[in-house]
Chains A and B, each alone.
Chain A
Amino acid sequence: EAGVAQSPRYKIIEKRQSVAFWCNPISGHATLYWYQQILGQGPKLLIQFQNNGVVDDSQLPKDRFSAERLKGVDSTLKIQPAKLEDSAVYLCASSSVRLAVYNEQFFGPGTRLTVL
């Protein structure tokens, strides 16, 4: 079974530029998560989708971050314009939806963003 795929793996941009990250979840997983992991900290949830609907985006800085999952499969996370403090690893995770059981989140390798 293929895991969660993310691209690019690394990205370096200058502040005020735009950047986009792509995630392909495990086939059949209805729930998709984007986490931000700043160096020295644990991952923090930015947004959670179930199919193509947003479940939780309470910690997404909506003035500069946006995310979509148009067909309920792949997802794109965008930052526009980027700030220095956006330097982090962006992790995508997915899980299935089965009632009354715990559904494990599977993580991709992440995209390391450096903003200069």
Chain B
Amino acid sequence: AQSVTQLGSHVSVSEGALVLLRCNYSSSVPPYLFWYVQYPNQGLQLLLKYTSAATLVKGINGFEAEFKKSETSFHLTKPSAHMSDAAEYFCAVGPFGNEKLTFGTGTRLTIIP
């Protein structure tokens, strides 16, 4: 079975500060890993994905994540937070192909002006 654990249900950072959202995974097979963002009253939008190519993955809106097999981690970072980054972020794991995604419990990111 595959699962993800997101550390910290709420994270607050100052505008312009580094954003770091943590995700650890558990998988018996090489995983595909994803970060999604959800703005209030909207659906999920894919930020970035790891599909066994480069371990450092760049996504939209200046976010990136690094796959570290030795640490079973896939943390999401952004060098400088913007007010528009305030949202809920979900880490997810899935096998290859059109199969279900297993999501973490989410991290709510608040940006302090």
Question: What is the interface of chain A, defined by CB distance below 8 A to chain B?
Answer: 4, 31, 33, 40-45, 48, 50, 55-56, 91, 93, 95, 97, 102-105, 107-110, 112
Contact = CB atoms under 8 A, between A and B. Distances in A.
A83 B41 CA distance: 23
Contacts of B90: 42-43
Contacts of A107: 36, 43-45
B45 A44 contact: no
B31 interface: no
Q: How many of chain B's residues touch chain A, expressed as a range?
A: 20 to 34
Nearest to A40: B105
Contacts of B96: 102
Nearest to A58: B100
B98 A97 contact: yes
Contacts of A56: 99-100
B44 to A, nearest CB: 4
Contact of B106 (A31, A41, A44, A91): A41
B44 A43 contact: yes
B100 A33 contact: yes
B42 to A, nearest CB: 6
B45 to A, nearest CB: 7
B22 to A, nearest CB: 15
Given A102-B32, A102-B49, A48 B100 contact: yes
